[in-house]
Every structure is written in C-alpha cells, then in structure tokens.
A and B are shown apart, each in its own frame.
Chain A
Amino acid sequence: MGLFILRRFGVMLLTALCLTFVVFFLTNLYPNLEKLAKTQGNQRMSDEQVETWLENRGYLQPTLVKYGQWLGVMPGFTKTLEDGTFVGTCTRPGSTEETTPRFCGVLQGDWGYSTVFKDEVGSIVSKRLGNTGYLMFWVLVLMVPSALLVGVLAGMREGSALDRSLSTFSIITTATPEYVSGVIFIAIFTSSTVGLKWFKGTATQAMDNPTFENFFLPVLTIALYGMGYIARMTRASMTEVMTAQYIRTARLKGVSFGNIVLKHALRNALIAPFTVIMLQFPWLLNGVVIVETLFNYKGFGWALVQAAGNNDIQLLLAISVVSVFVVLVTQLISDIGYVYLNPRIRIS
C-alpha cells in the first residue's frame, strides 16, 4: 500500500511537471507575449518597443531557462535598465537590487507576481480558492445526498413508476449544461418579466455576505448538472446489488423490504458511487468556471478566466497547478477509498 501511494505520487509529480510545462510553453508563445507587453506597457507600442520591453523583463530567454526560473532551480532574471530602474523576474514594485532574492520559484514557495491583479499570486489564489471552496462545500452538501437518494430510490425497484420518473429526471439534468440551466433559472426566478423575484441574479454580494437569496442559484446550478450522473451510477449499482443472491436470501427469510434496502443493500450499493463522486471533481471545476462567470462570483474559476484572458502567465500556472493537483488527488483518494470500502480488492 505504501509503495502504491509512493508510486502514485511519483506519477502525479511527473504529470504536474508535464502539464505546467505545456501551459508554460503555450503562454510563452510570441504572440501571447506581445499581447502581454501591449496590455502591460502601452497599446500603441511598435514592434521594436515590444521586443525591448520583453527583452528587458527576461521574457525572451529560452523557454527551458524561463521554466527553470519559475520552478526555482535557475537564478532569476535581473537587469538594470538605462534609466537606472532595476527589473527582473524576482522583483516586486519598490524592491531594490539588495532586497531581491536570487532564486524565486515554486520550490522557494514564491508563486510569482500577477500582472493583472498587481499582487502576489499566492495570496490571490488562496483568497479565490477560499471563495470557491465555500461554494463547492455547499454544492457537495446539496448534490451528494440528493443524488444518492434519487439513485437509491430509483434503483431499489427496477422498472417501477418511481424508477422511471427519477431516471427521466436524472437524464434531463445530465443533458442540461450549467450555462443553460443557469440562464433558465435566472430567467424564471430573478427576472422582472416573469415576476418571481425569489433569488438574486448575481452572487457578487455572496462573497462577503452569503445568504440563501443570493447564493442558492449558483449552488443549485452546479449541483444539478453533476447530480444526474451520480444518480444514474448509484441506480445502476443499486439495481445490481438488488439482484444479488444474498438479497434474495434475506427476502426469503422474510426481512421487510425497508430493512433489506437499508441494512443489506445500501452499504454495498454505495461503493461504486463513491469513486464516481470523487472522479466528478474535475467536472465540478468546469462548472465552477461557468457558474462563477455567469453569476459574477469572484472565485477560482473567475480568476482563471481573468488570467487566461489577459495572458497572466504566473497566475495561470499557479491555477493550473492547483487544478491538476485537485484532479490527481481526488483520483488517488478514489483509488484508496475503493480498496477500503471493498475488502475484496487488494493493492499489492
């Protein structure tokens, strides 16, 4: 088991390195750098000016060198300009040659400086992650129990009226992406034309003061799309368990239907949904980006859109590291949890 986790961590590290390099490569292509120079410097810079601007800030070094600097295995780029200002990858506004560290990379715990927000990337990401974490917490609180309930109720009597209506419901939710359900919810529940002004159409205030009124619609929108899939998996697993031999034995012994479902079937039926819920996280991340844009909730997904739209290289790299980390850790948890829940499987 220990060796398994160690190997998985190795693969995880390798994946994260490859992915960040891909992101690094794509964001450092020349047209992207040109866009960065023009947004940071001056929109009307000539081609030569763009080149000197980039040259002075170390953007025109070879990609591998820059990647090494970002990682912290190469000394940071520094240069003193003609007018005496000191620039470099490790400098911050107001810092001088003496106060600038030689190495500044991820390994030193320095995530860089965001060119859009004019702030440390580390603090931006942690603040935005906090907002998104809060959103995700409520999404999971709403999504997981209701999905499991729908799945178990549908799966306990296959082909019954309840099964058919709940299955239709879960198919409809899987067919409704967030940007469709969100738009429909906003139209029905917040618009002045319909008149049902039950909720607020934006979640901007929810960052400081989350209330049911301004926070429920974003949560519902994300939860609904993920719910259908989990419910269908739970239903499949439940129907499989309900046809098992030991359930029939219990039935023949005269155990009541409620007891069969609750005491015999449920625990075995919930093994498969556990992995599904864990593997649902990458999808939830997508949903978060869409919903945060739609409802103007300034979280992690919103920061991603801002960073990518403005080619904020270091913020984008930090965001991709975090999201890759989330994806891989949830995969690991789902593998380990599966072994714990199902004693028939052993990892050698």
Chain B
Amino acid sequence: MEPLSWTGSIAFLNPILLIALAALIVSIVIWIIGSIILPEAPMTVNADGTISSGSGLRGLTQSALRYSFFACVALSLAYILLGIFMGTGAGIIGAISQQFLPVWLSLIILFAMSIAFKRRLGLYGKLFDSPIGMIGFGLVMFWVFTGIFGALDLIVTHDPLVQVSGMKNKVPGTPLPSPEEGEYAWYLLGGDNLARDVFSRMVKGAWIVVQIAPLATMFAFMVGITLGLPAGYYGGRLDTFLSFLANLILAFPVILLFYLLVTPEIVATGVPNYMAAVLFVFPILFIGVLLNSRYYTRPKFRTPLLIGVLGIALWLYLSLISTGGYIINTDDYRIWGLPTYLDLFDIPGGILVVFVSVVFVNSPTVFRIVRGLAMDIKTRDYVAAAQTRGEGPWYIMLWEILPNARGPLIVDFCLRIGYTTILLGTLGFFGLGLPPESPDWGSTINEGRKLLSIYLHPALPPALALLSLVLGLNLLADGLREESLKD
C-alpha cells in the first residue's frame, strides 16, 4: 500500500483554495479598514419619502467579502463531496470525509427538516434565522452525530485501544505494514505514542463528551434551580445560608477541588458515592414538586401520576447510584442498594466521580444565576396576581417564575455545556478520573503534548476537536441570545 498524501488526486484544488483563502483574508482586512476610513454610503431621499442608499465603496468591499467567503465554502464542499465519492483516491481528506458520510447525511436531513418547518418550531426554529446560530448549531450537531455514530462503530477505522506494531508515531496517511482482510489499510491521522489510531481515538473521544457533558449540565441545572428558586423567592436566612455555601464552593480553585475529589484514593473511601446519592436526589425532588404543585387540586389525577413518575425516577436513581448490589462498597463497610437483577445500568467508579465532581462544580454558578433571576422576577405583577389568587409558593416558583426565566437559562445552558466540556478536558489533561487508555480528548492531548516538538499529529486533532465543539456551543448560545431578544 502507498502512503496517502493529504489531498491525493484532487490536489488540483489546492492552489484554487489557497487563492480563495488569500482573497478572503485580504477582503476581510479591507472590509475592516474600509469601515473606518471610507465614507458611509450616500443616502438619497426620494420623492415619495423613502430613502435609498447607493452601494458606494463600502458596498463593494462587502460584496468582495461575500463572494470570497462563498468561494471558500464552495471549495470546502467540493473537497468533501469529491472525497465522499473518491474515498482514499482523494487522499487523507477524501478518506476522512468518506468515513464521516453518516454524519454528513444526518446533518443534511436535520437542517433540511428544520429549515422547512422552522416557523412551527418556536425558539429552535428561529435559530435558523441567524447565520451565527446556524454555524454554531452545525458544529455542535456535527460532534453529536460523530459521537453517536462513533459509538455505533460506523466512523472509526480501527479499535481505539488496539496497538498495531510498527505504527508508533507514524505520520498521517501511513499504511499498515500487514493489514488483515477487512481491516482499514491506513492510519488516517497517524499513530500515537502507543501505536494506536489517532483518528479513531478522536472520534471515540467525542462520544465520551457527548455522553457526559449535557447530562452533567442538566443535573447541575436541576440542583441549581431547586435550590436557587426558594433562595431568591423567600430570601432571608435560607438565602444567606445557601449563598454562603455556594460562595464556599466557588472560592475553591476548580483544579484543587478536582485533585482532592477525583483520585483513586477518594473513590476507595466512597465519598463520590455519597455525593452522588445527595446530588441525584435533586432531580427527583424537582420533578416531584413540579408535578405536585401543578396538579394538587386534582388529587385523582395527581396521585397516580406522582406514583408512576416518582416510581420510575426512584428506580433510575437507585440503579444509578448502586453498583453490583451496593450503594457504597468500601473495604470497611457496605450499604446495600438495589439488587443486581433490578439494576438497569452500572456506572464505573471513574466515570461516576468525574460526573459528580463536574455537577458539583457547576451547580453553585447555576444557583447564583437562578437566584438572581428569581429575585428580579418575583416583583412582577403576574407573580403578585398569582399570590392574590392564593397559589402556593412552589407553584409560583416553578410555573410562574421559572418559565419566564427560561431565555437566559437556555443561553446559559449552552454556554455551560461548553464549560463542562472544557472541565472534562482539564480532568483528562491532568490524568484524573478517567482510565489512562481512555480516548477522551483531554487525556489524548495530555499524552500527545509530551512529544509535541517532534510529532504534532497525536495532540492536534483532539485539541482542534475540543476547540470546535466549544466554539460551536458559544456561537449557538450567541445565536439563541440574539433570537430570544427579538421577541
């Protein structure tokens, strides 16, 4: 097998792309300078009272920017399309875009459906009016689909944990020395220090982030909302106490907290299990209070509903916190949990401690935001109206205040998933929590950085992946903020 070059037989596109990129950069610079130096476009008032503006020199710079941008996008699409059809014939880029085929298809379907029905989809549909939001959403969904399909073994070319002899630190596009039947014949992004496939590890790493980050953020929001609403609504002693606790956690440098919590020694003491047992109660409390406050006037409907929902939630809770029949299983003592035949899923100790500490770090900030919003909204007229109607405090908090605070909370949710991704990367970077051979991005960056001055390829793909995912989440949050302000 021949080693692959970056672009293979579509190398004729490279000079065109270079020209287009150069044009884009030059036109951006001219556009910025032009916006300062050039005069504004001349305006003329027509006879019927309307104003029309000519394009002027500024318009010229703007259209130059637009065309060069479109040229770059079209060329990138050409690379991907040609790659999909030609595969390894189009070099590494072609092979990678062919491997990502399921992701491209899902993205196209998702965007086509969303744009077609965007008027009926509320805030989500409005996202497709803002180009920034669309770019961000595209980046995020790219990694979400990559994670899902990667977990289904559709995209990866090799097992991310298997070492192939002779592939140590090999550059991107190196063929395997003796590929077996049905095995992919190249390491597309090269091999790492232990001769594993960098590309497959990057794809598998996406799944770890996509699994943990949104779920951990959601739990942090449940905790923050359940504690922040009463703190903001009631105020007084409760508020002072809870705020002190939140400030206490916030005063800890995050990394010190991680170093104290996420070590094998601490896992052995069962502290993370206790924390999980406490933190995971909050979602159940939240759901219970949410439903009870809404339907308590209709006991015949409420009681079966609460029994059903809370029963399932409790079952999930118990199977989440108990592993192998025990809630806490240390050398000295044990606490019985759900028997194994009822246990739906087991979470390995390493993942659980990472999850718990990320929730623990995030919830005080959410608490502060929710508390501030609740303090602001409780003075509104509709809250006073609900109080006059005789509604209970929890109904007012959860069904009057919370829905009206959703805008800032949704935006913060997106930003916070990005922050959680960064935290997960930090944990991996310091080798905490996840097993050392785990393909998550932080650990891979940490491994790759040691040889960075000689071999670039093991560290750069996960770094760029993490960067693009967090960037996508930030852009998505920006787009959402812009669109929700338009209401």
Interface, chain A (partner B; CB < 8 A): 11, 14-15, 18-19, 23, 26-27, 29-32, 34-35, 160-162, 165, 171-172, 174-177, 179-180, 183-184, 186-187, 190-194, 201, 282, 285-286, 289-290, 293-294, 301, 304-305, 308-309, 311, 316, 319-320, 323-324, 327-328
Please tell me if the beta carbons of A175 and B471 are within 8 angstroms of each other in the complex: yes
Given contacts A19-B248, A29-B265, A305-B430, contact A177 B260 (CB under 8 A): no
Given contacts A179-B425, A179-B442, contact A304 B265 (CB under 8 A): no
Can you name the residue of chain A whose Cβ is closest to the Cβ of B449?
A183
Interface CB pairs A-B, < 8 A, 12: A29-B265, A31-B265, A161-B31, A162-B35, A171-B475, A175-B473, A175-B474, A179-B426, A186-B452, A186-B453, A323-B252, A324-B251
Complex CA gap A282/B263 in Å reads 23
Q: Tell whether B210 is near chain A: CB-to-CB under 8 Å.
A: no
Interface, chain B (partner A; CB < 8 A): 28, 31-32, 34-36, 244, 247-248, 250-256, 259-261, 263, 265-266, 268-269, 271, 418, 422, 425-426, 429-430, 442, 445-446, 448-449, 452-456, 459-460, 463-464, 466-467, 470-471, 473-475, 478
Can you name the residue of chain B whose Cβ is closest to the Cβ of A191?
B453
Please tell me if the beta carbons of A177 and B422 are within 8 angstroms of each other in the complex: yes
Please tell me if the beta carbons of A18 and B32 are within 8 angstroms of each other in the complex: no
Can you name the residue of chain A whose Cβ is closest to the Cβ of B267?
A31
Complex CA gap A319/B253 in Å reads 10
Can you name the residue of chain B whose Cβ is closest to the Cβ of A228?
B474
Q: Which residues of A contact B473 (CB under 8 A)?
A: 175
Please tell me if the beta carbons of B28 and A179 are within 8 angstroms of each other in the complex: no
Please tell me if the beta carbons of A180 and B247 are within 8 angstroms of each other in the complex: no
Please tell me if the beta carbons of B454 and A192 are within 8 angstroms of each other in the complex: yes
Q: Which residues of A contact B430 (CB under 8 A)?
A: 293, 305
Given contacts A179-B429, A184-B463, contact A172 B453 (CB under 8 A): no
Complex CA gap A305/B454 in Å reads 26
Please tell me if the beta carbons of B445 and A286 are within 8 angstroms of each other in the complex: no
Given contacts A171-B474, A179-B429, contact A186 B449 (CB under 8 A): yes
Complex CA gap A22/B483 in Å reads 43
Q: Which residues of A contact B459 (CB under 8 A)?
A: 183, 187
Can you name the residue of chain A whose Cβ is closest to the Cβ of B258?
A308
Q: Which residues of A contact B422 (CB under 8 A)?
A: 177
- Where chain A touches its partner, the secondary structure class is helix
Please tell me if the beta carbons of B32 and A285 are within 8 angstroms of each other in the complex: no
Complex CA gap A165/B425 in Å reads 28
Nearest first, the 8 A-B pairs at minimum CB distance are A308-B259, A161-B35, A31-B265, A175-B471, A175-B470, A177-B422, A180-B463, A26-B260
Q: A304-B259, A305-B430 are in contact. List 8 more A-B contacts (CB 8 A).
A: A26-B261, A161-B31, A165-B28, A177-B426, A180-B463, A187-B460, A190-B453, A282-B253
Given contacts A183-B452, A290-B426, contact A177 B471 (CB under 8 A): no
Complex CA gap A22/B459 in Å reads 36
Q: Which residues of B contact A14 (CB under 8 A)?
A: 244
Please tell me if the beta carbons of A308 and B260 are within 8 angstroms of each other in the complex: yes
Complex CA gap A186/B450 in Å reads 11
Shortest CB distance A169–B (Å) = 11
Q: Which residues of B contact A282 (CB under 8 A)?
A: 250-251, 253
Complex CA gap A308/B266 in Å reads 12
Complex CA gap A14/B245 in Å reads 11
Can you name the residue of chain B whose Cβ is closest to the Cβ of A34?
B265
Please tell me if the beta carbons of A286 and B425 are within 8 angstroms of each other in the complex: no
Can you name the residue of chain B whose Cβ is closest to the Cβ of A33?
B265
Complex CA gap A328/B19 in Å reads 53
Please tell me if the beta carbons of A31 and B248 are within 8 angstroms of each other in the complex: no
Please tell me if the beta carbons of A294 and B449 are within 8 angstroms of each other in the complex: yes
Complex CA gap A293/B261 in Å reads 19
Given contacts A15-B248, A304-B255, contact A161 B34 (CB under 8 A): yes
Please tell me if the beta carbons of A177 and B454 are within 8 angstroms of each other in the complex: no
* Contact partner, B456, options A15, A18, A194, Cβ 8 Å: A194
Shortest CB distance A12–B (Å) = 9
Complex CA gap A308/B255 in Å reads 10
Q: Which residues of B contact A18 (CB under 8 A)?
A: 248
Please tell me if the beta carbons of B254 and A286 are within 8 angstroms of each other in the complex: yes
Shortest CB distance A243–B (Å) = 14
Q: Which residues of A contact B254 (CB under 8 A)?
A: 286
Given contacts A26-B261, A308-B260, contact A201 B453 (CB under 8 A): yes
